[in-house]
Each structure stands twice: as C-alpha cells, then as structure tokens.
Structure 1
Amino acid sequence: MLPSYFIAHGAPSLVLEEHAYTKMLKQLAHQLPKPKAIVIFSAHWEESIPSISVVRENDQHSTIYDFGGFQEELYKITYPAPGNRSLSEHIQSLFSKQAIASRLDEERGLDHGAWAVLKLVYPDADIPVVALSVNRHLTNEQQYHIGKALSELREQDVLVIGSGGTVHNLGRVNWRSDRVDEWAEAFDQWIEQKLETWDIDALMNYRELAPHANEAVPTSEHFIPLLIAMGSGDANRSAKLLHRSYQYGNLSLSCWQFD
C-alpha cells in the first residue's frame, strides 16, 4: 500500500529553488514504487462541490499560471501529465458511496499548487494525474471524511497528495527575513504533536485549541489538504514528519507522510 502525503507548495518559485526542502522532494519518488496514478488536492482550486478533473481522451493537462510578478522562467514551465478518465469516474463513485456529492470537470488544468509539487517529485510528467478541488466551507470532519473516502486508492497503487501549507499567511510574510517567527513555529509544533498522536478531536478543533491558529491559518484552503491527506491514512493512523522549514519569516514548508 502506498502512503499518502501532505506537501507544502510554498511560493510558486519553489519549483526553481535549490535548498533542503526541494532536495527532499526530488528524492521522494526514489523511496516509493512508481504509482499507477496520482490524485492531488490543490489549495488553489476551490469549488463548492468537490470537483474532479477529467482529461479528454488522448489529451494532457494544461498548465495554469495562477500567479503574477514572479520570474519569467516560471511561465515557461509546463506539466503535460496525462489524465485517467476511469480513475476520475472511480473517485466519483467512491464519493457517491459516502454520500459526498461531486462533479467531473473537463476544463480545469493543473494550477501551481499541483504542478509545482509534481514537477519536483515526478519531473517527467509521465504518470496519470487527477486533480481535485477543496471547499473551505465544509467542516474539518467533512474534510477528513473526503480523504477517508479515497483511502482504498492507496491499495490500488494510486498516490494521494494534499498540496497546501500549514502556516500560510501572505499578509505576514517578510520577503527579506531569514528569521523564523515564533508564532509560526508554535503553531506547527502543536500540529506536529497532534498528528503524531493522531489526536483527531484536537485537530478538528485546531482553530480554538492551537496557539496562533488564526494568524497561521487566516483562511483554511491551504490547511484543508492536510486534513484530507490525513483522512486517507485513517486505516493505519501513522503520521511522520519528513521535513519542516520556513521561508520569508513564517511560510511553512513541510511534508507529512501518512502510512
């Protein structure tokens, strides 16, 4: 059975950077059997109804440049991974069994929350990808349930990834700072302890219980993929922190593995 992952995608420029975090991501695929397909939830695709990407037959995903003001080189990167219609339809059936409404989307490409991560881990873009949306208006329990509904995919050699960020407050980032803000570390350390002990009750109420939660997570779309990835690991309930570092004072770069 493949593990599932939460992978922080940082700033769009992450895909061009060379440091300990990107080095770890580039080595990640070498530690795993090659998956038959990848299912990835991106914080940058928000829909009120869970949406599942479908690529038309013999087509590839388009690349969405959903950012501005970064290096020109970024706008030349593509990630033309194939899709997998049967997997998209299978995901919809798994959702249906759990009374989760969903829809197939034939128009959506891969935004940087998806392709920047995948370009680092699987640069050849030769593995079928199905992208899924997030909805910040669901409860934390519902987010976890979405991941749990897809847990059997891991037994079918499908890699499940949630792409977001545990501390993601663009209003507080300091583009010139190398010093990590204490509030960001305190929040992440609380999350680490609750994940490693699989304290679901605490995590479902992180906004009320975790230190500096409202500062670390001003809006929840980047935190949701963590809960989804965790939910997909519900059967074994084993969480392992593979990396954590920070950029710009408080932008968290972390990778969690759920076995």
Structure 2
Amino acid sequence: MKKAGIMNLQTLPGLFISHGSPMLALDPEQVGPALERLSLNLPRPEAIVVMSAHWESNALEVSTAVRAETWHDFRGFPPELYEIRYPAPGNPELAEEILHLLAEAHLPAHANSTRPRDHGVWMPLLHMYPDADIPVVEISLPMNMSAQEIYKIGQTLAPLREKQILLIGSGSITHNLAELSWRTGNNEVPEWASSFRNEVVSKLAHSNFDAVLDWENLPFVHKNHPSLEHFAPLFFAMGTGHRFTIVHSSFSMGSLGMDLYRFD
C-alpha cells in the first residue's frame, strides 16, 4: 500500500491552460496567482510537455531543441514585454520518446530542432515555474487532424504522467479577439461567452467528453472561436486523464475566458 501511495504522489495531471493576452506576463490579473498556486500544489515535474495554440502545423511536430529561443510572437505591446526571456532547457531524449510513442500509436510526427518557444508556452510557465529550470518540450497543433485525433495524441502521451512529466494544452476556453473590450473597467461578460464556457464545463464535469469533441454542436462555438486553434489544445488535455477538475475560472477583457482545468 505504501508503494502505491508514492506512485500516486508522483503522478502528475494533465492541464488545460487559458493563456490569455501576452500582457499576462506583466499584469497577472487573477490567473497568474492561480497558476502559481497550482504549481505549488503539484509535485515538481521532471519535464513539461506543451501543445500550444501558437504552433499550428500541417503535420504533427515535436521540438527536439536543446534550448529553444524565447519567441515574442506578437506585435504592438510595451517594450518591456519583449525583454522577457524564458531560458528553460529542452529535452531531446524526451522528445525522441514522444516521437516513438506517437509512431507506435500510428500518429506519425516529425522532429523540429529549430522552432522557437512561443508565448503559449513561456507565458503561463513564467508564473508556474519562474526559475525556468525544468526542461520543456513543445509539440505542435496539427490543424488537419480531427478533434478525436488530437484527443488521441493526449491519450498516447498520458503514460508520461507517471514519470512525473506534466502535460499541458495551452489555448483559451473562449477566444474571439474582435469581441474583446479594451476599455478599463468594462468587464461585463457577454452571455454568448458565459453560456459556451458553462456548457463545456457541464459536459466535462459529467464525463461527456464525446460532446466536447463534437465541438460544432456546442452553443455559440463560432462566436467564441472564429478559428479553432485556441480551443483544440483542450482536446489534447482531455486525452491525458479522465477525472475533470476546475482549477480556476475568470474572464478578462469581457469575453476572454481564463479557465484552468485539470485532468487526472
């Protein structure tokens, strides 16, 4: 019994992180402290694997970089934001293991040793592990794959959790930049955003993952996600575990959902 308890302590969850605006790095709002608390309540990972909304690809790719550059993949923000670096090492050995697992699951993927680390990776990790001393491997979001196939990627990598490897899907529960309120103090959440978020949470809480994977039938889905790249990392996170927990829930700039979900 004692040995089983140790194993449970070391098994990390899968996470879905709504990473929000790049300004989260300078203005943490509510989600920054929530990410910090989350990291403090988890066993320290041996490594972190992130599927980011900001690495869209045709074929599935895995970063094999020894130390990926910090990429400021955005424009028009304060100069101090571009000075931030997140110099966490890569882990080529883990990347090769991931490529092997994917190949065995008939999900062929390609190694990429030159891809820089986008803000969908480094921005949330800046709040979770600010020392940047845990190896990070990024995997791409293959937009030619179905929701079910992206879910299968999460299922395929789920055994890594037992090796104290943290699996993260980084996107946003809602993401319509055209509908954001940039005026200070205007934080009214529109019904189309709250209804969508609540419907997704209800399906996940009742273990109805199939209904979420059938995303086209979710209410207001196209209003919340004119394109799917920020929602799709949730499918990956769902594949990593069966037991769903809400870690944090809030909205920023009116309709930008900042939810954090855990899958055990």
Q: Residue 136 of structure 1: CA displacement? A: 2.3
Contact 1:95 1:101 in 2 (8 A): yes
- Name the counterpart of 2:232: 224
Identity over the aligned pairs, expressed in percent?
40
Return the match for 2:205 from 184, 189, 196. Answer: 196
Paired AA for residue 224 in structure 2: A
Query: Within 2, Cα distance between the matches of 1:120 and 1:188?
Result: 24
- SS for the counterpart of 1:150 is helix
Q: Deviations over 1:102-122 (max 9, x none)?
A: 011010111011000111100
- Name the counterpart of 1:169: 176
Paired AA for residue 162 in structure 1: G
Return the match for 1:253 from 244, 258, 261. Answer: 258
Query: Within 2, Cα distance between the matches of 1:207 and 1:245?
Result: 24
2:148 is the alignment partner of 1:141:
yes
Query: Within 2, Cα distance between the matches of 1:149 and 1:18?
Result: 33
Return the match for 1:42 from 21, 41, 52. Answer: 52
- SS for the counterpart of 1:187 is helix
2:111 is the alignment partner of 1:104:
yes
Unaligned runs of 5+ in 2: 1-10
Q: Which region of structure 1 is more displaced relative to structure 2, 17-26 or 222-231?
A: 17-26
Q: Deviations over 1:143-202 (max 9, x none)?
A: 110110101000111000110001001111121131111110000000000111121221
Q: Residue 217 of structure 1: CA displacement? A: 1.4
- SS for the counterpart of 2:137 is strand
2:123 is the alignment partner of 1:116:
yes
- Name the counterpart of 1:13: 23
Query: Within 1, Cα distance between the matches of 2:40 and 2:187?
Result: 30
Contact 2:175 2:256 in 1 (8 A): yes
- Name the counterpart of 1:27: 37
Query: Within 2, Cα distance between the matches of 1:144 and 1:20?
Result: 28
Q: Equivalent residues in 2 for 1:121-136 (5 A)? A: 121-136=128-143
Return the match for 1:63 from 56, 62, 70. Answer: 70
RMSD: 0.9
Provide TM-score, normalisation by structure 1.
0.95
2:260 is the alignment partner of 1:244:
no
- Alignment: residue pair count: 252
Paired AA for residue 12 in structure 1: P
Query: Within 2, Cα distance between the matches of 1:159 and 1:204?
Result: 22
2:222 is the alignment partner of 1:214:
yes
Contact 1:61 1:79 in 2 (8 A): no
Q: Which runs of 4+ in 1 moved over 3 A?
A: none
- Name the counterpart of 2:164: 157
- SS for the counterpart of 2:149 is helix
Unaligned runs of 5+ in 1: none
Contact 2:209 2:238 in 1 (8 A): no
Q: Deviations over 1:38-70 (max 9, x none)?
A: 0001100011111111123xxx22100100111
Paired AA for residue 113 in structure 1: G
Query: Within 1, Cα distance between the matches of 2:39 and 2:235?
Result: 22
Paired AA for residue 199 in structure 1: N
Query: Within 2, Cα distance between the matches of 1:137 and 1:92?
Result: 18
